[in-house]
Structure 1
Amino acid sequence: MPALRAKIDALDAELIALLAKRSGLIDQAARIKLREKLPARIDSRVEEVAANASRLATEHGLDPLLADQLWRLMMEHFIAQEERALAKGRT
């Protein structure tokens, strides 16, 4: 069990690093949205990303409902991150 837990912990560290990288990309998106006068939330993009997550989950044998729920939670967080950046950039 300790070896398996170590593998899980290592994978968690990789996931966190990937989320941090995604957060940096969201910061870039916020700068573009500020320049282009786009809103943080673009509903069609939210649905596209959620559908992609569900499809990829299915392809990889993961429950697509789990992927959909996780991605929607993540997107809400990152939309809020963009909204803060947009508000800051307008002042």
Structure 2
Amino acid sequence: MSRPDPATLTSLDELRAGIDAIDTELLTLFAERQAHVDSVAGIKAKTGLSAAAPTRYAAVIDRVRDRAADAGFDPDIAEGMWRVMIDGFIAQEQQVLGTEGEDA
């Protein structure tokens, strides 16, 4: 979806409407991401992998920081957001998988 450049918007209402539209798109993408994570938990359960995969966690954070910087987004903010999200998903997976298993 194409949105107007925020620099061309002149009212607070226009800018807030743009922010609200972006938030809706982000939530749709986060829900899609969660569906992928939910499917990963099923595979982890079959293969003996742990919910918390420190190697993968670190790789995701590194990738997010790099892509955030490339996109002109503050890498520290991106990292903080992703850590909260990933920690929440790990907690959900641990309810199903427990805390044992191998790093993957």
SS at match of 1:38: coil
In structure 1, list runs of 5 or more residues that go unmatched.
none
* 1:4 CA displacement: 1.2
The equivalent residue for 2:57 is: 46
The one-character-per-residue Cα deviations of 1:20-55 (angstroms, maximum 9, x if unpaired) are 111111110000000001100010100000000000
Q: As a proportion of its length, which structure holds more helix?
A: 1
Q: Which stretches in structure 2 are left out of the alignment for 5+ residues?
A: 1-11, 99-104
* 1:26-41 equivalences in 2 (<5 Å): 26-41=37-52
- Report the counterpart of residue 22 of structure 2 in structure 1: 11
Taking structure 1 as the reference length, what is the TM-score of the superposition?
0.91
Asked whether the equivalents of residues 27 and 85 of structure 1 are also in contact (C-alpha less than 8 Å), the reply is no
1:85 corresponds in structure 2 to 96
Structure 2 distance, partners of 1:58, 1:83, is 31
> Percent same amino acid among aligned pairs?
39
Per the normalisation by structure 2, the TM-score is 0.80
Q: Identify the match of residue 59 of structure 1 among 70, 74, 91.
A: 70
Larger radius of gyration: 2
Q: Cα offset for 1:85?
A: 2.6
